[in-house]
Structure 1
Amino acid sequence: MVDTERDAPAGRDIVPLGEAVKVWARVAALSFGGPAGQIALMHRVVVDEKRWIGEHRFLHALNYCMLLPGPEAHQLAIYIGWLLNRTIGGLIAGALFVLPGFIAILGLSYIYAAYGNVSYIAGLFFGLKAAVLAVVLQAVFRIGSRALKNNVMIGIAAAAFVAIFFLHVPFPLIIIAAGILGFFGGRAGSPLFKVGGGHRGGSAVILEDRDSLLGEETPPHARPNLAWSLRVSGALAIAWLLPVALLLATTGSGNIFSQVGLFFSQMAVVTFGGAYAVLAYVAQEAVQHFGWLKPGEMLDGLGMAETTPGPLIIVVQFVGFMAAYRNPGPLDPMLAATLAAVLTTWVTFIPSFLWIFLGAPFIEKLRGNAELTGAMSAITAAVVGVILNLAIWFGIHVLFAEVRPALWGPVSIDVPVPSSVLWPSLALTAFAALAIFRLKLSVISTLAICAAIGVMWTILAGSGTTTP
């Protein structure tokens, strides 16, 4: 295929913008299955089918996105959209990637808030909780098998688990410490801090960059331009932070909208490792500190995010919705919840555009950088320990009705009361684990089956109080 980009002027799109919009809308509508499925879908469409970019460039973009805080699949869409259609292309690709999930989660949140105590709704989320617990366990094994390739990586994962589970060290500090360790390990040239190539869920077809429409050359608009990067990223930073600053200035730090905007803005800076790792941090704060949600409700939100298109991290939209629904102030609860859902989504996803537009042109020049590779491998290992903590924390609160704190000096953990075990939850979780690990059912299929079983069980039990 002729490489049309070699001689393209700076203002020309690689592909027609209208065609790109149709493709990104298709990707967004089909982006189920978490980041693995979303990345695989993008690879199949833009690399294998359309041949807009080549394999090497796709992997380079993905490696950069994996280093950033926030949802890597969303950032990858922005990156590729920017490569193909300049700034407007990145904005459109990123916005479309989030929009279907936002609409779906908002609709489900309305139903949950209005009818969550009705028996069949309670049964639906009872089944989803059990399935989601199995999905989180799968994430531990999936990410662990990729990241823990040697004793150093295993040690980092173990240290991260001990730090967050027993000592309650904040998630951001764990990620920072792991990143620093990996950075210097990579600088020292240690092979223990190198990660293998490839991507999650990719195709076996290897398409060389020179055979793609974009070609091997960097398009003019993707070359480092400090003035452009500062101008665009500055506008995005204002769009991200100005609403939060105005809320703090006009309503004070105790207002629910100020709390939501500030908390999820902070989260956007430290959310390394994907949605499952982030949930440990969100749950710790939203459930234990702010009291916005109950532990079981966090799993309800994740069940929503698992069954709708878009990034899994969009579960935070549900958290913001419920926070304002229960603390509406002078507003109607549903109106307050809707505004908080919009605010949460805005401050969560706008930073992804900022990271891409600020850094991508310069990252194009850093292929194979040892320090960045080392930091990425160490952070990924630490995330395994964090997700294991998440799985245990969720499991305790899903499978037991009563949990008591236990203290041993600086160590503090929640210990379940054995006599309070919830046998229906345990049985359904075991079934979900069997479906995922043994029968190899997809996440969507497992969630659907467990939700149906949950509804039937609740109806047969004659009570809407089955959920933990």
Structure 2
Amino acid sequence: MNSSKAQVPYSLRDLVIYFLKLGTWGFGGPVALAGYMHRDLVEDKQWISEEDYKEGLALAQLAPGPLAAQLGIYMGYVHYRLPGATLAGLAFVLPSFLMVLGLGFMYVHWQGIPWMQAVFYGVGAAVIGIIGTSAWKLTRKSIGSNKVLMAIYIIAAVYTVWQENENIGLFLGAGILYWLLKATTTKLSFPHKGTTISKLFIHPLILNISTAASGKTLWQILLYFTKAGAFVFGSGLAIVPFLYGGVVKEYGWLNEQQFLDAVAVAMITPGPVVITVGFIGFLTAGFSGACVAAFGTFFPCYLFTILPAPYFRKYGKHPGIKAFVDGVTAAAIGAISGAVIVLAKRSLTDVYTIGLAVLTVFILWRFRKIPEPVIIVIGAGAGLLLKAFLNT
């Protein structure tokens, strides 16, 4: 730890408790979770600086794996290095993992969860309102009136809406472009002594993954989900189409309906969306399958965060690297805002869900101290009532 204990405004215990709470009450997926971390850790508690947050967000976008989990791991690394990163990551993931285990148990014994769609009908609309508000705050705080960053932000948002996914090349290009533009007006350079951009966010780590194993074994599950965690870029939602191709099409572990229910479970539980792998693993091979699938998915993203983190900590304040990170951050926030629109198209399916989303935005704007979990619970109740009303 570079800073002395007296200089760090929180203890490791405080950090773990925060991420346990975020993992328990943090609804809304990667967009909302990134917004919550900025609001809580940067603005309210002032534990993390704006620069450190931007570095973490840039690294989370550039490295493969789920965005929210990687950002949380980096937030833990900022002041408490490896212990902080490890405990923050575990605390963030554990609550939602236990929840999906419970839902998986009920799903198996009750032959599906018919009430889940009704709950998600209301929760999905409320979540859109929450993540829309979070994205707006994040945009206002990070982009400001900088016209170049705004242009990068808009391009990334439009691309995300158009393609419905995120492109690592777009983030890299945004960072390089902004660095070049800044270099024309100020004398910027990257650190010397052999340091390259790749060292800052891509550690020389090679995962040799073989899928030669046959049968529905724990080893096969471990290999498949490790590949999913290691080679899927973008937010947690980006892993969904990858999982569909393997879990449903290639291996046939789940049928179409079971997979849709797994995605619904991820959306109505707090914490990282990619925790759906625990539910899928449970349906495939019970408790052991859930643990192996979760480990295989999250361990690569943990490595892809802690291995390049020292380079970000060492060189992140350099003017050239800062310009690169600012460009990547603008693209990242644009992609997050675009993801809000993509999700809204899927969740706001009628006048009732649109009304719930608009009402959520109004409540969050008018009554700033209402906790998001309260809104989620109200949204779930509204969904059950509306579905009951519409089906009568």
Normalised by the size of structure 2, how large is the TM-score? Answer: 0.70
1:129 Cα shift? 1.0
Q: CA, structure 1 residues 39+390, in 2 after alignment: closer, same or farther (shift >3 Å)?
A: closer
1:462 Cα shift? 5.8
**8 Å contact from structure 1 (residues 94, 353) kept in 2:** no
Tell me the equivalent position of 1:129: 124
| 1:383-442 per-position Cα deviation (integer Å, ceiling 9, x unaligned) | 333233322222222233xxxxxxxxxxxxxxxxxxxxx344333333323323344343
SS of 1:166's partner is helix
1:288 Cα shift? 7.8
**8 Å contact from structure 2 (residues 164, 339) kept in 1:** no
Is it true that 1:370 corresponds to 2:319 in the alignment?
yes
Tell me the equivalent position of 2:191: none
SS of 1:248's partner is coil
Amino acid at match of 1:359: Y
SS of 2:336's partner is helix
Gaps of 5+ in 1: 7-12, 49-54, 194-225, 272-277, 306-311, 401-421, 464-468
1:3-22 → structure 2 map (5 Å cutoff): 14=5, 20=11, 22=13
- Equivalents in 1 of 2:113, 2:56: separation in Å? 42
Amino acid at match of 1:315: V
- Equivalents in 2 of 1:396, 1:387: separation in Å? 15
1:75 Cα shift? 0.9
Amino acid at match of 1:376: V
1:14 Cα shift? 4.4
1:183 Cα shift? 2.5
1:360 Cα shift? 5.4
1:73 Cα shift? 3.4
**8 Å contact from structure 2 (residues 122, 380) kept in 1:** yes
Tell me the equivalent position of 1:144: 139
Q: CA, structure 1 residues 116+165, in 2 after alignment: closer, same or farther (shift >3 Å)?
A: farther
Q: CA, structure 1 residues 36+112, in 2 after alignment: closer, same or farther (shift >3 Å)?
A: farther
**8 Å contact from structure 1 (residues 132, 303) kept in 2:** no
1:54-453 → structure 2 map (5 Å cutoff): 58=49, 61-69=52-60, 70=67, 71-82=70-81, 87-88=82-83, 90-111=85-106, 117-148=112-143, 149-166=145-162, 170-189=166-185, 241=207, 245=208, 248=211, 250=213, 257-267=222-232, 270-271=233-234, 278-279=235-236, 281-283=238-240, 285-286=242-243, 298=263, 300-305=265-270, 312=271, 314-318=272-276, 320-324=277-281, 328=284, 332=285, 335-356=288-309, 358-359=310-311, 362-363=314-315, 367=317, 369-400=318-349, 422-440=350-368, 441-453=370-382
**8 Å contact from structure 1 (residues 131, 432) kept in 2:** yes
Tell me the equivalent position of 2:192: none
SS of 1:161's partner is helix
- Equivalents in 2 of 1:61, 1:423: separation in Å? 41
Amino acid at match of 1:66: L
- Equivalents in 2 of 1:429, 1:47: separation in Å? 30
**8 Å contact from structure 1 (residues 257, 340) kept in 2:** yes
- Equivalents in 2 of 1:150, 1:79: separation in Å? 27
Tell me the equivalent position of 2:18: 27
| 1:59-105 per-position Cα deviation (integer Å, ceiling 9, x unaligned) | 554443233124333312123113xxxx5455445444543444344
1:133 Cα shift? 1.5
**8 Å contact from structure 2 (residues 132, 337) kept in 1:** yes
Amino acid at match of 1:395: A
- Equivalents in 2 of 1:184, 1:25: separation in Å? 39
| 1:26-46 per-position Cα deviation (integer Å, ceiling 9, x unaligned) | 233333553454456556999
Gaps of 5+ in 2: 27-32, 61-66, 189-194, 249-253
What is the aligned-residue RMSD (CA, Å)? 4.2
Normalised by the size of structure 1, how large is the TM-score? Answer: 0.60
1:461 Cα shift? 5.1
- Equivalents in 1 of 2:209, 2:162: separation in Å? 38
| 1:326-347 per-position Cα deviation (integer Å, ceiling 9, x unaligned) | 6x3xxx3564344312322323
Tell me the equivalent position of 1:406: none
Structure in which a larger fraction of residues adopt helix: 2
1:165 Cα shift? 3.1
**8 Å contact from structure 1 (residues 184, 371) kept in 2:** no
- Equivalents in 2 of 1:455, 1:386: separation in Å? 32
1:260 Cα shift? 2.5
1:448 Cα shift? 1.7
Q: CA, structure 1 residues 189+283, in 2 after alignment: closer, same or farther (shift >3 Å)?
A: farther
Amino acid at match of 2:364: I
Percent same amino acid among aligned pairs? 15
**8 Å contact from structure 1 (residues 119, 459) kept in 2:** no
- Equivalents in 2 of 1:455, 1:347: separation in Å? 38
**8 Å contact from structure 2 (residues 229, 297) kept in 1:** yes
Task: Give the paired residue count.
Answer: 348
Tell me the equivalent position of 1:201: none
1:47 Cα shift? 6.8
Q: CA, structure 1 residues 93+394, in 2 after alignment: closer, same or farther (shift >3 Å)?
A: closer
